[in-house]
Amino acid sequence: MTHPTLAEFDAAAAFLNGVIAATPVDQSDHLTALLGHPVYLKLENLQRTGSFKIRGAAYRLSRLTEEERARGVVAASAGNHAQGVALAAQKLGIPATIFMPLGVPVPKLLATRGYGADVVLEGETFETPMRLATEFAARTGAVLIHPFDHRDVMIGQGTLGLELFDAVPDVETVVVGVGGGGLLAGVAAAVKARAAAAGRTVRVIGVQAENSAAYPPSLAAGEPVTVDTIPTIADGIAVARPGDEPFAVIKDLVDDIVTVTDDDIARALLVLLERAKQVVEPAGAVGVAAILAGKVAAAGPTVAILSGGNIDPLLLQRVVAHGLAASGRYMTIQIPLPDRPGQLARVSELLAVAGANVIEALHTRHGQGMQISEVILQLSVETRGEEHRARTIEILEDAGFHPRVMPD
């Protein structure tokens, strides 16, 4: 397979003009100071349907024949591809059936149904809906719209690369999240082709969630391999096996693939909320997570793609709390106390001395392993970072208490 060409990307961009939004690019002063080079955020979380997926879905559907459109389309998705296919199908008058995993974020589910698609919920991970969608296509004749393993999908996604290159023409490094590989392959091919036309080069770095990272072992093996995935907050890129077509592009054009933990991703979401004022889903924040975790060795202007913003508000609440804890700014501690007057007041005084803010308190005489003359004080405390949290614990211990930090 030959890699997509600049002419193909330009043709796709011309078709998508008016179908998608040309999303903005914003410089991040915080990340710039951290990396030591200008860092820009490509705000694809502001795209129609809330993610980049509408690009590939709309372009893929636009190239179906009339006979294929009459048969309808089917797709499998954790949410963003589903919305892209559903909206594109609605605009083109094509019947759409979407298979989604159980536990899919409610906003993604409601939006997909709102665009007129018939949604079927089944399975815990992406693999089950994908299998069911493939079977549905074979049984009914519907055209399977793969979320990443198709040339037209990659070309559609790659139009994002053209936009960011136009916005930051001196870009030297592009950081892209990767699941199956459609976005990374498309962006890498488009950016490198545009840079070559300008007589220079650009580095492209892919980022995977550590709990679902199929690309490093696949690249080591020289072919796509299937890995066992562990649940991750970045459900949008939790793919057990790279796509064949994206892999062929990525192994040739992508300079590096790094991984980030769920803690890294939670920190990135918090930074994006506080510093960039952007609501981003976990899969869309892995590029920023890699920068914050020191995984990106950039030289010169760098663009991190915020690929999606469709996050369930309840998950956002939990992730923000997790991010605060991972950043040393929130902790829950349990302190065993003698059951006598004045102990709670004493702990409160020490926390005030430490400058820690109590968010919530639970005082109980019930619990396993407690002495009859003992109570447990559980406190949720706001701190200013790792050093301040450690100092708070130290002040309590110096006063003779034995605080235990609870897992968040």
Residues annotated as part of the active site: 53, 307
* DSSP state, residue 276: I
The two three-digit tokens of residue 63, written as one number: 């190239």
| Partners of residue 177 on adjacent β-strands | 207
Pairing of strands 118-121, 143-144: unpaired
Pairing of strands 96-100, 330-338: unpaired
* CA–CA gap between residue 288 and residue 207 (Å, rounded): 9
DSSP, collapsed to helix, strand or coil, labels residue 402 as coil
The two three-digit tokens of residue 12, written as one number: 């796709």
* CA–CA gap between residue 240 and residue 252 (Å, rounded): 21
* DSSP state, residue 4: P
Return phi, psi of residue 258, to 5°: -120, 165
Return phi, psi of residue 20, to 5°: -110, 170
For tokens 């501690």, name the residue. 333
| CA dihedral angle for residue 324, residue 327, residue 328, residue 329, rounded to 10 degrees | -40
Q: What's the distance, CA 76 to chain centroid?
A: 18
* CA–CA gap between residue 223 and residue 241 (Å, rounded): 10
| CA dihedral angle for residue 167, residue 172, residue 178, residue 183, rounded to 10 degrees | 40
Q: Dump strand ranges (E) for 217-301.
A: 256-260
* CA–CA gap between residue 327 and residue 383 (Å, rounded): 10
| 330 CB burial (10 A radius; 0-12, 13-18, 19+) | buried
Residues 6+ apart with CB under 8 A from 83: 49, 50, 51, 53, 54, 77, 108, 111, 112, 115, 310
* CA–CA gap between residue 149 and residue 153 (Å, rounded): 7
